[in-house]
Each structure stands twice: as C-alpha cells, then as structure tokens.
Chain A
Amino acid sequence: MATTTAAVTLTSDLLSDNISVTTDTTCMKGGTTADGLDQMDMGYIEIATGDQYDLFDADNALNKNKANKVYISNDSTDETYYVTITIDATVVGRLYAGDWMFIPWGAEDATADIEIEAINGTNKVSYAYFHEGRTLIAS
C-alpha cells in the first residue's frame, strides 16, 4: 500500500492560553481503511493576472466523490500578491504570498474544478494533488 501522510503544527499566542496543535493523518482512498491514495501530481506554475484558470479539473469519474487531497502554496514573496481559490463558482478564499492550504477535494461533479486567479501581479504557485486516478486522454 502506498502511504501518504499529512501533518500540521499550528501554534498561536493570540489567546492567553496558547493554541498548540500537532496532528497527522494517513491519506486513504475514499471509504477504505486499508488502501492508501496511490497516484499523485505535483507542479509549479507562474500565473499571470487577468483570468481565472482551472488548476484541477473535476471532469474525472475516477476521482468523483473520493478522498482526494489538494495542497496549494503561494510561493510569491510580495505580500500584496494573492490568488483567489474558487470551486465551481464559489470563492473559497484568498491565498496570499507565503500562504498554503491543504484540503480534501470532493470533485463531486464536472463543474467542481479548483480554479485560481492571480491578483496584483504574476503569482508563483506550487501544488500537489493526491488521488485515486485520472482519466487519460487518448492522443
């Protein structure tokens, strides 16, 4: 079984009793307890301003309603730069320079793409996508 783990350490001193969380999970295929996610994609792109692009396309029956995991990092260094993250037509939030996100992705229908748009300048984005398969397009 392929093994993928995701760990996070979260600390904050905003409260008088500090928040300190450390946890990890092993990323399994949807609905299973013994079979880990076994396929992945990763990359790095520079996204110019002016349009919204599909970073991950949900038009894929192999990943529909599964336990896919998505990591996106904005590697830009100018603090005013950010990317908007949208799923289908819903804006999830803004990922500013230096920020990262890690989510499960339902990919529940063909329009549930993860879309990205760069604001204030060309943003540098790293990503990793752990999943159960991709429908290959015949050449």
Chain B
Amino acid sequence: MATTATVTLTSDISSGFGGITKTMTLTKAGTNNDITETTGFSRRKLAAATAVDLITMANELVEPSDNTAAKVYIKNIGNNGVIDKSSYVKILIGATGGTTQEIGRLYGGDWLMMPVTVVDDMDIVAHPETDNAVVLEYTLFFEEA
C-alpha cells in the first residue's frame, strides 16, 4: 500500500543547474511503514475573493494524528480548461476568520506539495485573488490518530 511522489525540476536560469529529480515514499512518522490514510482526491470550485477552508482538520472523518508526517497536494487547474497564469489563489494555514499564515500564491497551473501538522485549526485555507471561478484539486495523506 504505497504512496509515492516524484518531483522533477528543470531550469535554464543557471548553466550549472543540472536539474533535480527526487522520489519520496510517504511513510508514517519516524518509521519506514507506508502512510495509510487519505482524504481521496477532491476538487473544489471557488468563485469569490474570500478565504475558505479547503481542508478543515477537525472535520476529517478519520481523525488525523497530529504533528506526524502528513502531506498535502494542491493544484490550481483554472476553470473549464482555461488556466490563467496571471491570477492566483493564496494558500494559507490556520483558522478561517482567525489567525492564518500565508504559504504562497498558487498561480494558474501551479501545484504544491508540502508537509502539514493536521492540528485542529491549522486548516488548509484558500483565498482567490478575484471573484473569477477557479478550481483547486487536492488530496491529503495522513496517519490515523
């Protein structure tokens, strides 16, 4: 029951940069045992420039184990096949309406993969730049508490 993720980075910015390729197998914290839980693959259309929870940690049907080796993947896929590279959705961590910390701006077509604590109120928050419709695809991998 393995989950793997391979990143490949290429760039011609520097002539000395030969690229990066790395594969990770998602495991439980501090072990070589495969991670066992996922939210599954989801998509959500946003059409307002307001912050919303993409993933609310306290609402997961299977309670995640806090501060372990959870990972989240998110991609901005645009809308109806139109990807706007000049428009973004801010991705933040925290409580919508409360304190949040920005991670960064996910422009059209961009993706991210990062570790998350899955602590309650450390939700994954999305905040589109505009009211124009945009769709995010996402999935969370985690350990059961």
Set of chain B residues within 8 Å of A66, measured between Cβ atoms: 105
Q: Which residue of A lies closest to B72 (CB)?
A: A93
Cβ contacts A77-92/B at 8 Å (1 or 0 each): 0011010010111111
Q: Which residue of A lies closest to B100 (CB)?
A: A90
Set of chain A residues within 8 Å of B20, measured between Cβ atoms: 71, 73, 126, 128
Q: Is the interface of A mostly helix, strand, loop or mixed?
A: strand
Which listed residue (B1, B24, B75, B94) contacts A99, Cβ 8 A?
B24
- Shortest B86–chain A CB gap in Å is 5
In the complex, whether A139 has a CB less than 8 A from a CB of chain B is no
- Shortest A43–chain B CB gap in Å is 12
In the complex, whether A136 has a CB less than 8 A from a CB of chain B is no
Q: How far is the CA of A3 from the CA of B32 in the complex (A)?
A: 36
Sort chain A's interface into a size bin: 35 or more
Are the C-beta atoms of B112 and A103 separated by less than 8 Å?
A: yes
Set of chain A residues within 8 Å of B86, measured between Cβ atoms: 31-33
Are the C-beta atoms of A14 and B37 separated by less than 8 Å?
A: yes
Are the C-beta atoms of A92 and B103 separated by less than 8 Å?
A: yes
- Shortest A132–chain B CB gap in Å is 11
Set of chain A residues within 8 Å of B109, measured between Cβ atoms: 25-26
Contacts A13-B1, A104-B105; A96 near B36 (Cβ below 8 A):
no
In the complex, whether B61 has a CB less than 8 A from a CB of chain A is no
In the complex, whether B67 has a CB less than 8 A from a CB of chain A is yes
**What are 26 pairs between A and B in contact, CB < 8 Å?**
A3-B10, A5-B11, A9-B6, A10-B113, A12-B38, A13-B2, A19-B40, A39-B13, A40-B17, A42-B17, A71-B7, A71-B9, A73-B20, A80-B30, A82-B30, A87-B101, A90-B101, A91-B122, A92-B114, A94-B29, A94-B69, A101-B113, A102-B7, A102-B9, A112-B102, A130-B11
Identify the A interface with B (CB < 8 A): 2-15, 19, 21, 23-28, 30-33, 37-40, 42, 65-68, 71, 73, 79-80, 82, 85, 87-96, 98-106, 108, 112, 126, 128, 130
